A = this chain, B = another copy of it.
Amino acid sequence: MGNFKGHALPGTFFIIMGIWWTTRCVLKYACKKHKRTSYIGSKALFHRIEIFEGIVLVSMAITGMLGEQFITGGPHLALYDYKEGQWVDLLNWHHFTMYFFFGLLGVTNILCFLISSLPASLTKLMLSNALFVEAFIMYNHTHGREMLDIFVHQLLVLAIFVTGLIAFLELFIRTSITVELTRTSFILLQGSWFWQIGFVLYPPSGGPAWDAMDHDNIMFLTICFCWHYALSIIIVGMIYAFVTWLVKSRLQRFCPSEVGLLKNVEREQESEEEM
């Protein structure tokens, strides 16, 4: 994974997950608000979406785990080289472990779908577990590297830890859509920051990496991290606006009978207020 592609791949994964979770969350909120009549139907839909999500997560995790093991230069399931007396490709095993916990999250998603007696908060717990484990491993990932390398990974750990913390708090306290969207915006941040790390440590242009001992680089990456966050907030906001508009307009087109009538009533009320 010590190259540009190795950082772009998980980055893309987290960006897709972030966009997907944001869309689902806003969709749920918008449906709950506008489509009260057919809400029970949409509830079954969201239930079915969850198992689909679980299957995607599990297959992604298995792909990642196999990839880390059987890539050229990977450990091929060997953990300790008794001849040389040393550990084999520990960094690959690190990534393997992270993928495994995201796989566990997927398994939990599927189990929660199949067995209805399981408590609903289990998925959230496994999400926060997967994120905390990722943050923990990332934190212990850069022993003995250079200042800049450690700094960009620390920022990554910060983004992951905050996401895990919000998921953990959601376990205890009933959540609002604001908190959920904060979580998904941090997942987007994590994804785009993976790309940034790739650009900083392994420039795809083939040029040399950034000067690891230059304080100015750290000063710049500090604000760069904030800009990534601002960008992810703006993306979440745009998804929110788009999905809300879509739900509104679709409702008018497909169920003009009921909802349209309601709309007319609302419009009349509004025009009355304007007078």
Residues of A bordering B, CB below 8 Å: 33, 86-87, 90-91, 93-94, 96-97, 100-101, 104, 117, 119, 121-122, 124-125, 129, 133, 136-137, 140, 143-144, 169, 171-173, 176-179, 182, 215-220, 222-223, 225-227, 229-230, 233, 244
Contacts and interface: CB of A to CB of B under 8 A. Distances in A.
B133 A215 contact: no
How many identical chains are in the complex? 4
Contact of A222 (B94, B101, B227): B94
Contacts of A219: 87, 90-91, 94, 140, 143
Contacts of A226: 97, 101, 133, 136-137
Query: Which secondary structure dominates chain A's binding surface?
Result: helix
Given A94-B219, A94-B223, 8 more contacts: A87-B216, A87-B220, A97-B226, A121-B178, A140-B218, A140-B219, A169-B172, A171-B178
A90 B214 CA distance: 13
A93 B222 CA distance: 10
Which 3 interchain pairs have the tightest Cβ spacing? A140-B222, A121-B178, A90-B219
Contacts of A230: 100-101, 104
A219 B97 CA distance: 12
Contacts of A86: 216
A233 B129 CA distance: 10
Nearest to A248: B117
A32 to B, nearest CB: 12
